[in-house]
């Protein structure tokens, strides 16, 4: 049985993970917290430990959601940019690609001594969030990052520990 706790990764670890995943050097810098508002939908990935307790959350704005997913799936930048700038939502294909992105990001929390984290659920931008998860998004134990996916665009990502 593990006694450690999940820890927030360093910005460099997030950059290295995303850059390796999409095959491009993703820009990662300190940023503002990502929070959902009626006019700014976000995606929320919920990670759990082996006992199904939530141990981490990844919140991405529409830009980060669309651009990381599109870059991973090698989709044309125009479609992802349209999703962000015109549609305000992700296509089914972009949601599928984003699911793979956030699934791989679970590795950021799997450090020696910490309980194993795995992706439990992805809420796509616009999906209703359960109240308990929505409440956790404002926690202070977090890292907030601005992303730039070369050839696609800019977005923001927050990793939050409950």
Residue 68 within any structural domain of the chain: yes
Identify which of 90, 107, 114 has the alpha carbon closest to the alpha carbon of residue 41: 90
One pLDDT digit (tens) per residue for the chain, 162 residues: 334 689 999 999 999 999 999 999 999 999 999 998 888 999 999 999 999 999 999 999 999 999 999 999 999 999 999 999 999 999 999 999 999 999 999 999 999 988 999 999 999 998 999 999 999 998 999 999 999 999 999 999 999 999
Residue 2 within any structural domain of the chain: no
Domain count, the chain: 1
Confidence at residue 25, expressed as pLDDT on a 0 to 100 scale: 97
Residue 4 within any structural domain of the chain: no
Which CB contacts under 8 angstroms, 24+ apart, belong to 76-79?
A: 77/151, 77/152, 77/153
Domain range spanning residue 32?
11-160
Residue 154 within any structural domain of the chain: yes
Average pLDDT, the chain: 94
End-to-end CA distance of the chain: 21
Residue 88 within any structural domain of the chain: yes
Residue 48 within any structural domain of the chain: yes
pTM for the whole thing? 0.94
Confidence at residue 3, expressed as pLDDT on a 0 to 100 scale: 44
Residue 16 within any structural domain of the chain: yes
The whole-angstrom separation of Cα 158 and Cα 39 is: 18
* CATH code (residue 111): 3.40.1550.10
The whole-angstrom separation of Cα 90 and Cα 98 is: 9
């Amino acid at each position: 049985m593990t006694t450690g706790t999940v820890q927030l990764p360093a910005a460099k670890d997030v950059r290295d993970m995303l850059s390796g995943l999409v095959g491009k050097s993703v820009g990662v810098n300190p940023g503002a917290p990502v929070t959902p508002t009626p006019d700014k939908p976000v995606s929320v990935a919920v990670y759990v430990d082996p006992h199904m307790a939530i141990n981490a959350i990844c919140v991405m704005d529409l830009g980060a959601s669309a651009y990381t997913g599109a870059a991973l799936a090698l989709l044309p930048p125009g479609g992802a940019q349209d999703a962000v700038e015109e549609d305000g939502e992700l296509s089914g294909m972009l949601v599928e690609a984003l699911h793979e992105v956030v699934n791989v990001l679970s590795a950021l929390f799997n450090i020696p001594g910490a309980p194993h984290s795995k992706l439990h659920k992805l809420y796509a931008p616009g999906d209703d969030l359960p109240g308990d998860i929505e409440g956790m998004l404002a926690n202070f134990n977090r890292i907030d990052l601005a992303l730039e996916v070369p050839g696609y665009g800019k977005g923001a990502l927050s990793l939050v520990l409950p």
